[in-house]
Amino acid sequence: MTEMESDLRELYQDLILDHGKHPRNFHVIDPADCEAVGHNPLCGDKLVLFLTVGQDGRIAQAAFQGSGCAISMASASMMTEMLTGKTAAQAKTLWAVFEDMCKSNAVEPDRLAGLDEDDVLRLQALAGVRHYPVRVKCATLAWRTLESALDPAAVKKVGTE
């Protein structure tokens, strides 16, 4: 790792701590165009995700409410910031890339082509949880909830409640 990469990593780890303590977009949207509930019983993390979609098909507003560990809250907070302005397809691509990053640090570089560099760095920082397998479900909860919020065919509730 170069010095610059190591500095970047620290910067983004600080960002995760900050989002965990002070979640952004932490409120209800009523009415929302898409809404889903997520629950991670392993850790007790719970959240509700709200999305509004603009006329252009892009996510206009993303917000969440819930309670859980710092990783789950930071991941949800950072996700809602990343989602604004994205299409559903772009959002799903981010989730697919993040899911792979949580399994391996060797994500094919061409899969990252075309993605926003800042989004990639944020996802890479969050995906550092792969070293703590029990925390991966905390980091991916918001994204799994997003997947169900974006699926019009699904009942808009996930989890065990």
Residues near Zn ion, by CB under 5 A: 43, 45, 68-69, 72, 138
Nearer to Zn ion, 82 or 138 (CB): 138
Q: Name which of 68 and 128 has its Cβ closer to Zn ion.
A: 68
* Residue 77: CB minimum distance to Zn ion, A: 13
CB of residue 42 to Zn ion, shortest distance in Å: 7
Cβ atoms within 10 Å of 161's Cβ, excluding its own: 8
Please report where in the chains the tokens 């994500």 appear, as a residue: 107
Contact, 59 vs 91, CB < 8 A?
yes
Of 65 and 84, CB closest to Zn ion: 65
Query: Residue 113: helix, strand or coil by DSSP?
Result: coil
Contact 47, 72 (CB under 8 A): yes
Least distance in angstroms from the C-beta of 135 to Zn ion: 7
Residue-wise DSSP of 50-106: EEEE-TTSBEEEEEEEEE--HHHHHHHHHHHHHHTT-BHHHHHHHHHHHHHHTT-S-
Please state the closest distance from residue 98 (CB atom) to Zn ion, in A. 16
Of the pair 77, 90, the CB lying nearest Zn ion is at 77
Nearest to 17 by CA among 66, 68, 63, 75: 75
Which CB, 60 or 69, lies closer to Zn ion? 69
- Distance in Å, CB of 133 to Zn ion, minimum: 13
